[in-house]
Chain A
Amino acid sequence: MTLIFNIIFGIIAIILLILFFKPQDGWWYRLKETKVSRDRIILEDILKTLYQSQLEKITPNIKSLVKKLPFREQQTLKILSEMEKKDLVQVLENKVRLSPKGETYALRIVRAHRLWEQFLAEKTGYDKKDWHKLAEKAEHRLTDEHLEELSKELRRPLFDPHGDPIPYGEGEMPEISGKVLASFPEGTIGRIVHIQDEPESIYQQILAENIHIGSQVKILKITPEMVRFSSEGRLHDLQPIVADALTIIPLEKEEITENISRLSQLKKKEKAVVKGISRECRGENRRRLLDLGFVNGTEIKISNISPLGDPIAYQVRETLIALREDQAQYILIQKEGNDE
Chain B
Amino acid sequence: MSKQTNIDNILNKADKLRWELGDNYHDYLTESIYTDAAAITRKTVQQKGKESVFNFEQKLDQIVTSKKWGFPIMLLILAVVLWITIIGANYPSQMLSDLLMGWLYPLLKDGANALNFPWWLSGFLVDGVYLAVAWVIAVMLPPMAIFFPLFTLLEDFGYLPRVAFNLDKIFQKTGAHGKQALTMTMGFGCNAAGVVATRIIDSPRERLIAIITNNFSLCNGRWPTQILLATIFLGAVVPNEFTSFVATGSVILIALIGIAFMFGTNWFLSRVMLKGEVSSFTLELPPYRPPQFWKTLYTSLIDRTLIVLWRAVMFAAPAGAAIWLISNINVGGESLAFWTIDWLDPFGVAIGLNGVILLAYILAIPANEIVIPTILMLTVLVTKDLNMGEGAGVMFEGSEAQISTILEAGGWTLLTAVNLMLFSLLHNPCSTTIYTIYKETNSVKWTTVAAILPIIMGIVVCFLVAFFWRL
The contact string, 1 if C-beta is below 8 Å from chain A, for chain B 234-271, is 00000000000000000000000000000000000000
Q: How many whole Å from B270's CB to the nearest CB in chain A?
A: 9
Complexed CA–CA distance, A287 and B34 (Å): 12
**Besides A1-B346, A157-B23, A321-B284, 18 new A-B residue pairs in contact (Cβ under 8 A), listed by A number:** A8-B347, A124-B277, A124-B278, A125-B278, A158-B19, A159-B23, A214-B24, A297-B38, A297-B39, A303-B61, A306-B168, A307-B65, A307-B70, A313-B65, A320-B285, A322-B285, A324-B168, A324-B281
**Range class of the B interface residue count:** 35 or more
Any A CB within 8 A of the CB of B442: no
Q: Which residue of A lies closest to B37 (CB)?
A: A295
Any A CB within 8 A of the CB of B455: no
List the B side residues contacting A307 at CB < 8 Å.
Answer: 65-67, 70-71, 166
**Given A158-B23, A159-B23, A310-B168, also A285-B62 (CB < 8 A):** no
Q: Which residue of B lies closest to A134 (CB)?
A: B276
Residue ranges of B at the interface with A (Cβ–Cβ < 8 Å): 18-19, 22-24, 26-27, 30-31, 34-35, 38-39, 47, 50, 54, 58, 61-62, 65-67, 70-71, 165-170, 172, 178, 205, 275-287, 343, 346-347, 350
A174 touches B19 (CB 8 A): yes
Any B CB within 8 A of the CB of A241: no
List the A side residues contacting B24 at CB < 8 Å.
Answer: 214, 279
Any B CB within 8 A of the CB of A224: no
Q: Which residue of A lies closest to B26 (CB)?
A: A155
B165 touches A322 (CB 8 A): yes
Sample of 5 A–B contacts (CB below 8 Å): A156-B18, A158-B19, A285-B280, A297-B35, A305-B65
B283 touches A321 (CB 8 A): yes
Q: How many whole Å from B48's CB to the nearest CB in chain A?
A: 13
List the A side residues contacting B277 at CB < 8 Å.
Answer: 124-125
Any B CB within 8 A of the CB of A143: no
B280 touches A313 (CB 8 A): no
Any B CB within 8 A of the CB of A207: no
Q: How many whole Å from A163's CB to the nearest CB in chain B?
A: 9
Q: How many whole Å from B126's CB to the nearest CB in chain A?
A: 36
Which parts of A54-69 form the interface with B (CB within 8 Å)? none
Complexed CA–CA distance, A318 and B41 (Å): 13
Complexed CA–CA distance, A108 and B54 (Å): 58
List the B side residues contacting A322 at CB < 8 Å.
Answer: 165, 168, 283-285
**Given A124-B276, A319-B284, also A175-B61 (CB < 8 A):** no
Q: How many whole Å from B379's CB to the nearest CB in chain A?
A: 21
**Range class of the A interface residue count:** 35 or more
B35 touches A295 (CB 8 A): yes
A310 touches B169 (CB 8 A): yes
B30 touches A311 (CB 8 A): no
B169 touches A308 (CB 8 A): yes
Complexed CA–CA distance, A125 and B19 (Å): 27
Q: Which residue of A lies closest to B349 (CB)?
A: A1
Q: Which residue of A lies closest to B346 (CB)?
A: A1
Complexed CA–CA distance, A320 and B165 (Å): 11
List the B side residues contacting A327 at CB < 8 Å.
Answer: 281
Complexed CA–CA distance, A297 and B22 (Å): 22
Q: How many whole Å from A164's CB to the nearest CB in chain B?
A: 11
B38 touches A4 (CB 8 A): no
List the B side residues contacting A240 at CB < 8 Å.
Answer: none
List the A side residues contacting B350 at CB < 8 Å.
Answer: 1
B172 touches A310 (CB 8 A): yes
Complexed CA–CA distance, A270 and B117 (Å): 81
Any B CB within 8 A of the CB of A259: no
Q: How many whole Å from A201's CB to the nearest CB in chain B?
A: 23
Any B CB within 8 A of the CB of A304: yes
**Given A126-B275, A285-B280, A327-B281, also A303-B58 (CB < 8 A):** yes
